[in-house]
């Protein structure tokens, strides 16, 4: 059948639609008179091509993974580099109650393991910590367990202060029994004490004690305290021994190591780590934190092993994170992986240009850091060290994934990144150009299962 010819210049509708719409011409009248585009290629869902699926996953930097206190070092460094000093200080102090001390006295496993050390020079993390310790911060607010417990802390060295701090944070009733004139233990009288400027230790202790922790300056015996307190912790019989005693019937239901099982068998007495020199002060702080969080978890009816698995930092279950614990208590998901980004996982030939430290940035730091223990030079130094941090495993908005994605499907809004999976073809260029190992790759099939 011959079609009757009817001439018409069929003008296309104005513009090219950016909607995801498929266009089919069913009748002649629907065709434009010349081959012009009517819609964008958004109709073509190239996400269906994908075999490999890239995804953003924050991982653990080696500094964090080796910090005995469970610090979130990369987090606070990148946050302060962004100019958010208060937030950075908050991160620091939520994990470490004595940063001004550790900044000066810690044996710095973070720096030993810093990836930058294999590139040129390690980041002087201890300096960052010391200066950030002087910045204004907001103490974290946690929801306490229904029935707060009573905690007696004998002595006031690093481990004791740490445990006292975290117990108080978790709303338990803490009393420190210090036989000496002043609080601080080895921190005041030990070898490292000379390195601390005058008044620094007092300031730190004051922050812990504030009006949350009761202090009784007298000598006590364990027996005296057992009746009255649910938990007794501290140096009994000298600074070499840390003892933990928890009321027997409230011991956690499961144990995580043979030490603790022994403790149960003995009716709740455990010999802990021995603090001998101030250089292991961070381990002492980490230890006190660990005990506090595990006991608190037990009192909430949580399983100790499971809890430790969820709040550990790096591979070591004795290093715990308050941030992770807080998330756990709120029922919030912690999407970050404990996979450690070693030097071999970095793509340093694609490193972005370094952040330039400006006067503005220094001035901004000085509005937060107002104590006599850190001045303008310190702030400037800390910023230039922070600028050198590779931000291993943590996105720092370098933009490489956004820049190099051939299809422009790595979306970037205000420093937040997202992959448009409707169109991502799974080429994995983004993963290859991330200098710091933030983008992981999984088989699409595996993801779907």
Partner 1 sequence: MNKTQVSESNVTMPDTELVSPGMYSCPGCMAALAMRHVLKGMGSNTIIALTTGCWAVIDGPFPYTAVKVPLLHGAFGTAASMARGLRAALDAQGKEDVQVLAWGGDGATFDIGMTALSAAAAYDEDVLYVCYDNEAYMNTGGQQSTATPPGMKTTTTTNPDLRELRKKDIVEIMAAHEVPYAATASTGYPYDLQRKVQEARALKGFKFLHIHTPCPTGWRTSPEDTVRIARLAVAARLHPLYHVRNGQEYVIDMNPEPIPVSDYLAVQGKRLMPMSDEGVAWIQERVDRRWHNLVARTQMT
Partner 2 sequence: MERVIMNGNTAAAVGAKLARTQVTAAYPISPQSQIVEVLADFVASGELEAKFIMSESEHSVMASLIAASEAGARVFTATSSQGLALMHELLHWASGARLPIVMVNVNRAMSAPWTMFCDQSDIIAQRDTGWLHIYCEQNQEVLDSVIQGYKVAEKIMLPVLINMDGFYNSYTTEPIDVHDIEAVDDYLPPYDPPVKLDPEEPRTLHGGTGPHLFAEMRYQNWEAMQEALPLAKEIDEEFGRLFGASYGLTEAYRCEDAELILVTAGSMVGTLRGVVDDYRAKGERIGMLKIRYLRPFPVREVCEALKPAQRIAVVDRNVSVGMGGVFWQEIRSAAYGTEVAKKPILGFIAGLGGRDVTPASFDEIIRIARTEPRQDVPIWIGLKE
Task: Indicate which single residue of 426, 434, 435, 438 sits in contact with partner 1 (rule: CB under 8 A).
Answer: 426
Residue (112 or 411) nearer to partner 1, CB: 411
Per CB under 8 A, contacts with partner 1 among 389-408 are 396-399, 402-408
Residue 49 DSSP code:
G
17, 20, 32, 220: residue in contact with partner 2 (rule CB under 8 A): 32
Which structure tokens are listed for 400?
A: 């490489």
Q: Least Å distance between CB 425 and partner 2?
A: 20
DSSP 142: -
Read off φ and ψ for residue 56, nearest 5 degrees.
Answer: -80, 130
Q: Is 442 in the site for partner 2 (CB under 8 A)?
A: no
For tokens 């799974």, the residue is: 426
Burial of 386 (0-12, 13-18, 19+ CB in 10 A): buried
CA dist 364 and 239 (Å) reads 42
CA proximity to 383, closest of 362, 407, 353, 405: 362
For partner 1, which is the closer residue by CB, 121 or 422?
422
Residue 5 lies near partner 2 (rule: CB under 8 A): yes
- Taking the C-alpha atoms of residue 173 and residue 149, their distance in angstroms, rounded to an integer, is 6
Task: Say if CB 250 and CB 232 are below 8 A apart.
Answer: no
Binder to partner 2 among 1, 19, 22, 35 (CB under 8 A)?
Answer: 35
Q: How far apart are CA 128 and CA 387, in angstroms?
A: 11
> What are the residues facing 419 on neighbouring strands?
410
- Judged by CB under 8 A, which of 28, 45, 143, 206 binds partner 1? 45
Residue 135 DSSP class: B
What are the tokens at 271?
A: 């010999």
33 contributes a contact to partner 1 by CB under 8 A: no
Q: Give the shortest CB-368-to-partner 1 separation in angstroms.
A: 16
Mask 81-120, x = binds partner 1 (CB under 8 A)?
-xx-------------------------------------
Q: Which is nearer to partner 1, 346 or 431 (CB)?
A: 431
Q: How far is CA 157 from CA 210, 320, 337, in A?
A: 17, 20, 33
- C-alpha–C-alpha distance, residues 145 and 171, integer Å: 8
For partner 1, the binding residue among 28, 41, 224, 375 (CB under 8 A) is 41
Sole binder of partner 1 in the list 201, 308, 389, 431 (CB under 8 A)? 431
1, 19, 22, 36: residue in contact with partner 2 (rule CB under 8 A): 36
449 binds partner 1 (CB under 8 A): no
* CB contact at 8 A, 75 and 248: no
Q: Using the rule CB under 8 A, is 49 a contact of partner 1?
A: yes
Asked if 10 is part of the footprint of partner 2 (rule: CB under 8 A), the reply reads yes
Asked if residue 92 lies in contact with residue 129, where contact means CB atoms within 8 angstroms, the answer is: yes
With contact defined as beta carbons under 8 Å apart, do 152 and 177 qualify?
yes
Report what 440 binds from partner 1, partner 2, none; CB cut-off 5-8 Å by kind: none
Residue 256: helix, strand or coil by DSSP? coil
CB nearer to partner 2: pick between 12 and 239: 12
Joined together, the tokens standing for residue 9 give 């210049």
What number of other Cβ atoms are within 10 A of residue 20's Cβ? 14
Position 427 contacts partner 1 (CB under 8 A): yes
Paired tokens of 136: 């204004």
Determine if 447 is a binding residue for partner 2 (CB under 8 A). no
Quick one: what does residue 15 bind among partner 1, partner 2, none, with the CB cut-off 5 to 8 Å set by partner type? partner 2
Told to check if 351 binds partner 1 by CB under 8 A, we report no
CA distance linking residue 77 with residue 72, whole number of Å: 9
Smallest distance, Å, CB 5 to partner 2?
5
Give residues in contact with partner 2 (CB under 8 A).
3, 5-12, 14-16, 25, 28, 31-37
Give residues in contact with partner 1 (CB under 8 A).
16, 18, 20, 23, 32, 35-46, 49, 82-83, 349-350, 352-353, 355-356, 396-399, 402-409, 412, 414-415, 420, 422-423, 425-429, 431-433
């Amino acid at each position: 059948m011959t079609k009757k010819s009817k001439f018409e210049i069929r003008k296309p509708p104005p513009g090219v639609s950016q909607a995801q719409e498929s266009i089919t011409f069913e009748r002649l009248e629907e065709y434009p008179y010349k081959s012009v585009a009517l819609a964008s290629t958004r109709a073509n869902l190239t996400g269906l091509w994908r075999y490999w699926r890239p995804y953003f996953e924050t991982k653990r930097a080696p500094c964090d993974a080796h910090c005995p206190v469970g610090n979130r070092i990369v987090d606070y460094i990148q946050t302060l580099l962004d100019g958010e000093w208060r937030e950075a200080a908050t991160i620091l102090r939520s994990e470490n109650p004595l940063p001004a001390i550790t900044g000066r006295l810690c044996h710095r496993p973070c720096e030993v393991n810093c990836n930058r050390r294999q590139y040129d020079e390690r980041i002087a993390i201890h300096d960052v910590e010391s200066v950030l310790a002087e910045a204004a911060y907001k103490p974290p607010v946690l929801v306490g367990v229904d029935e707060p417990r009573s905690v007696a802390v004998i002595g006031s060295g690093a481990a004791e202060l740490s445990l006292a701090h975290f117990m108080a944070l978790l709303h338990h009733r803490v009393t420190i029994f210090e036989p000496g004139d002043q609080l601080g233990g080895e921190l005041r009288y030990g070898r490292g004490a000379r390195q601390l400027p005058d008044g620094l230790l007092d300031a730190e202790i004051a922050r812990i004690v504030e009006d949350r922790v009761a202090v009784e300056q007298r000598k006590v015996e364990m027996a005296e305290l057992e009746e009255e307190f649910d938990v007794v912790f501290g140096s009994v019989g000298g600074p070499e021994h840390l003892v933990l005693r928890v009321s027997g019937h409230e011991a956690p239901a499961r144990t995580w190591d043979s030490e603790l099982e022994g403790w149960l068998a003995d009716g709740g007495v455990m010999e802990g780590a021995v603090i001998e020199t101030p250089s292991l002060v961070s381990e002492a702080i980490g230890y006190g934190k660990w005990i506090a969080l595990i006991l608190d978890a037990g009192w909430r009816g949580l399983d100790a092993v499971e809890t430790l698995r969820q709040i550990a930092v790096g591979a070591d279950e004795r290093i715990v994170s308050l941030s992770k614990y807080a998330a756990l208590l709120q029922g919030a998901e912690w999407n970050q992986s404990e996979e450690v980004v070693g030097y071999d996982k970095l793509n340093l030939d694609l490193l972005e240009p370094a952040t330039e430290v400006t006067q503005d940035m220094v001035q901004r730091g000085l509005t937060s850091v107002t104590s006599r223990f850190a001045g303008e030079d310190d702030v400037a130094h800390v910023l230039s060290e922070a600028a050198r941090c590779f931000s291993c495993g943590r996105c720092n908005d370098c933009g490489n994934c956004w820049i190099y994605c051939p299809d422009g499907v790595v979306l970037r809004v205000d420093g937040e990144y997202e992959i448009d999976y409707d169109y991502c073809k799974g080429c994995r260029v983004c993963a290859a150009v991330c200098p710091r190992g933030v983008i992981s790759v999984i088989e699409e099939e595996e993801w779907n299962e």
